Amino acid sequence: MSSNTANHYINGQWQSGSGENFDSTEPGNGQLVWSGSAATEQEVSDAVSAARDAFPSWQLVPADRRIELARNYQDIVHSRQSELALLISREVGKPLWEAKTEAAAVAGKVQLAIDAFEERRSYSETELNDFKAVTRYKPLGVLGVLGPFNFPAHLPNGHIIPALVAGNTIVFKPSEQTPAVGAWLVDRWHDVGLPDGVINLVQGARDTGVALVNHPQIDGLLFTGSSQGGVAIHKAFAGQPQKILALEMGGNNPLIVHDVNDLKAAAYLTILSSFITAGQRCTCARRLIVTDQLADPLLNELVEMLSSVKFGFYSDEPEPFMGTVISAQAGQALLNGQSELLSQGARSIVEMKRQRDCDALLSPGIVDVTEVSDRPDEEMFGPFLNVIRVSDFQAAVAEANNTRYGLSAGLISDRRESYEFFIQRIRAGVVNWNRQTTGASGKLPFGGCGLSGNYRPSGYFAADYCSFPVASLESDAVTMPESTLTGIDLS
């Protein structure tokens, strides 16, 4: 039995599930990608038990050997990169060019995780007179991983590799919208030959996730997804300080354009910030904040450039810049959100529309919400941008911070002093200057504040939430000190 014919991977074996059936289909045409069943509460418990049983021996495997297995995984993924990219395109709707970049990042994450582990979580010692001060790092135990749909391989992979290298065992639940990609990843770890129970996979939607979150035998949870989901998990973990919780959530991300000469470049960066991945990156700009003086010329340039942006299906030739959103339901929710804003007084600049008889294929939309008095502070997860006009730069920064979220923020400006003002005041975990908000480096931390995260950044800093430090004072021999404490007479 393999991932092509089974649903869950528990204790080194692919298994058919006994829960409710569900399917994954291509967003663009409805063709079947994956079909199976959700894991029941008992099957989730079996997966956690397998991970618990595997942990004592796995944590004792030398780090060099765990790293060797991770490198083997890297080699296998790299050799089958095209296969993974096509599967991502089919299940998510991304253009193939973009899916290829995600597939490459899956293999590339291995070396980054190893570097971070060796740099941030390695054994160290200091000689202090006749003893040593030693810092070691120990794995946490059984970690649950809940993955998102927008980067169904790259983002959970960014949790799984650091966790395994550190010596933890894993129970992974992919998004119910991308079960095939999740199964593909775990099947490659199976090919590597990880010991039974070290990594486990359970498929399903909310009920499966709740069973994993609430299981008493997990030592932590690593989550990437919506703020609504993250808040629910945070509440479920209340009163359990012994468990680690790393939350990476979305944002109502601002992009300020101020005092810039090259409006064409500014418009291009705005498009990359707002509409790449059909607006389904958690770092996408949702609010374009621009001073009154610059607003009209910038928007004219943006609208003209946007008219040349190609959107379509992943199989189109030539390839589009932008594919579908994840589902017809998501597409309809976005159109409803646009209608609601217009009913509240927003002014349409470019209408977001359904395209080619496909509810999941939307053209990019832009609305001016400056006159909407009670603007909703919500993330519209799609190709949709709100424009807010302000009087000056200080007002722009204040507006940028007018959100409960704090994942990403960007400034496009020719003035360094403006960036210095911005970087000192903006509340966000990813802040870019004259780069797209959707740009990130694997050598940097990745996470946010507010409703965007709980100060457990992933990226290069994922190593930090996969182990805990142990401090020791050590001496090779039992010896009497040269002097004793007051009140102890050993004469």
User: Which residues are identified as catalytic?
Assistant: 248, 282
Residue whose tokens read 């609208």: 303
Residues 15-41: b if buried by 16+ CB within 10 A, e if exposed: bebebeebebbbbbeeeebbebbbbbe
What whole-number distance in Å separates Cα of residue 11 and Cα of residue 50? 5
β-bridge partners, 288: 255, 387
8 Å CB contact between 446 and 464: no
Alpha-carbon distance values, 407 to 117, 283, 392, 490 (Å):
24, 7, 23, 62
What whole-number distance in Å separates Cα of residue 355 and Cα of residue 374? 30
Here the tokens at position 52 are 């618990």
